[in-house]
Amino acid sequence: MSEPTQIGFIGLGQMGAPMAQRLLGPEVTLHVFDPSETAARRLTDAGAVGHASPAAVADVATLVFACLPSPRVSEDVALGANGVASGKAIRVHVEMSTIGTAAIGRIADGLARHGIATVDAPISGGPPGARAGTLAVMAAGAPEALAVADAALRRIGRTVYTLGDRPGLGQMMKLVNNLVVAANMASTFEALVLGAKGGLDPSTMVDVLNASTGRSLVTTDIVPRAILPGSFDFGATIAVMDKDVTLGLAEAASLAVPMWTLEQAARLWRFAVTQGRKSDDMTTMIQMLEDWAGVKVRSQGAPD
């Protein structure tokens, strides 16, 4: 019997924890770190090996994944005093966070000086997709590094898209995706509130949209799952969406690409953050619009 593969995972939040969970198995020894002892304990209780720092994970794992909340945290985990760059075993670092092209470029350059390859591999599908293993993975990096990470990536996601050999292309694709989702959510929420104010039944509105040209992930999944029943538990926070939209607009500015429509959508997400909603589920943004209009977009019998 061959020795188990040594894999590391850093960042065990709403996305990281279920992705790391999918890597557990008899053929893998999973090494984990999270600054939250509670988050780390959920994985160690399931069979992972806990460590005191990213560097400690990289001392024993040849392949290390990171899923983190911001560019600053990602850079510190990769290149900081206790970062994976000082690890003795690591050969490939897979950055799954959404951090923009500049940050991933700095990480890739810094790790390369230590002989460590970087795979840029942000994901889409939210916490439900992470739990189900149905995420879309947007991967970019040197072919040999992608080959090392491929089997693990395919345990995490349903589809792995190879976007090129340069870290940063995965980030660009993820930001394109999230700009589309952010604008779709903003426009769909506004339109549904209008329809409810005009007397339409919310559930019927969603059924009609899903049989018509207004159909999108927002109408097929997000609204039926988290808004019509009043659960507001899709998983990602308003702060995360605001961060991704801000990163996307910064990329557009750096490339001199006008973003007339997306700049308007970004204002709504930023306003939600300023209203104390940054830690709320992203679906709760519709509640601001409902309050202004004096209506609710809920199924009959759903709680307010």
Q: Which residues does the annotation mark as catalytic?
A: 174
Long-range contacts of 124-131 (CB under 8 A, 24+ apart): 124/174, 124/177, 124/178, 125/157, 126/15, 126/234, 126/235, 126/236, 127/14, 127/15, 127/18, 127/234, 127/235, 127/236, 128/225, 128/234, 128/235, 129/157, 130/14, 130/15, 130/18, 130/19, 130/156, 131/18
